Amino acid sequence: MFENEFNGKVVVVTGGSRGIGFAAVKGFLAAGAKVCFLSHKEETGKAAMEKLMAINPNYEVFTRAMDLRECDWKAMKAVLEEVVEKWGRIDVLINNAGTDSHTWITKLKISEWDDVFNLNMKAMFLLSKYALPYLRDTKGCIINTASVAGVYGAPTGIPYPTTKAAVIGFTKSLAYSYADKGVRVNCIAPGVVDTDLVGDLPQFAKDSIGNTIPMKRFGQPEDIANAMMFLASSAASYITAQCLQVDGGYRPSNLID
């Protein structure tokens, strides 16, 4: 679909060792990009690298392990500097890493709230802050992973929809700030995607969620990755400040007739 679209381009992906992030890494590499992806743990990054090398040992790709919840701005800045030292540029930043909490709000610990906020929002802010000078040079773009939970809210797990709504607001505001500087900023709001998290749900829960999706199937990581690649491509050169819902028409059960 995007053959040779990203030849010579450099992409940085967070949460790139599994799920949506790994699908994005594979997609950008197949389309000619050079990719650095961050993983939470060294072993998951290593496993992802082995899979990528099995696909094509000539891929230009490397990984770094980093707990983004720690919001170590010096480490984030250093990784971006390493990418530029190695490949000379950054064209696309994919802020994809995220987490959630299902603890009821009256029992929610402040530390749990901080963990979700730090990964879903603060890390995204820091990486964007330090990537923007490079993206201005290349007229590049930022793509953030939001969620339909940030659009509609959710009955439990308050930190997750709260931070994902903030991702949407951050995206639009940053896009307006940098539109005249040639940097595009968009986000994607995935619906229910068939990742490890969904795979662990009992069947009755999957059936219940499936009833909220008019297309009658869960999304695949590649569905979201394709949308990321579209927003990063030349086909989207006039698109900024948008939140693209990739959700099969998903609507919360209380909005379904």
Give catalytic residues, as residue numbers: 160, 164
CB 189 within 8 A of CB 148: yes
Give CA–CA dist 63/38, Å, rounded: 6
| CA 71 to centroid of chain Cα atoms | 17
Tokens read off for 44: 């998951």
∠ at Cα 105 (100, 106), nearest 5°?
145
CB 178 within 8 A of CB 132: yes
Q: Which H or E element spans position 45?
A: helix 42-55
Task: Select from 145, 33, 127 the least CA-distant residue to 89.
Answer: 33
Tokens read off for 160: 């997750």
Give CA–CA dist 144/231, Å, rounded: 11
Q: Sign of the C-alpha dihedral, residues 191, 196, 201, 207?
A: positive
Give CA–CA dist 248/214, Å, rounded: 6
CB 31 within 8 A of CB 4: yes
Tokens read off for 246: 């990739």
